[in-house]
Amino acid sequence: MLSPEIEPKAFRNLSYGLYIVTSRDEDRLNGQVVNTVIQVTSDPPRLAVIINKKNLTHEYISKSKVFGVSVLAESAPLTFFGPFGFSSGRDTDKLSKVQYKKGFNGCPLLTEHTLSVIEVEVSDQIDMGTHTIFVGPVVHSEVLTEGQPLTYHYYHEVMKGKTSKNAPTYTE
Contacting residues toward a second copy, per CB under 8 A: 1, 3-11, 13-18, 36-48, 50, 71, 104, 115-119, 124, 126, 128-131, 133, 135, 138-143, 149, 151-153, 167-171
User: Is residue 69 within 8 Å of residue 49, measured between CB atoms?
Assistant: yes
Kindly tell me which of 75 and 92 has the beta carbon lying closer to a second copy: 75
Nearest approach in angstroms of CB 29 to a second copy is 19
**What letter would DSSP give residue 65?**
-
Check: CB of residue 151 under 8 Å from CB of residue 74. yes
How far apart (Å, rounded) are the C-alpha atoms in residues 31 and 161? Answer: 18
For the CB of residue 154, give the shortest distance to a second copy in the complex, in Å.
9
- Minimum gap (Å) between residue 95 Cβ and a second copy: 21
Q: Report strand pairing: 114-121 vs 66-72.
A: antiparallel
Q: How many CB atoms lie within 10 A of CB 14?
A: 11
Looking at the Cβ atoms of 84 and 152, the one nearer to a second copy is 152
Amino acid at site 130: T
Q: How far is the CB of 167 from a second copy (least distance, A)?
A: 7
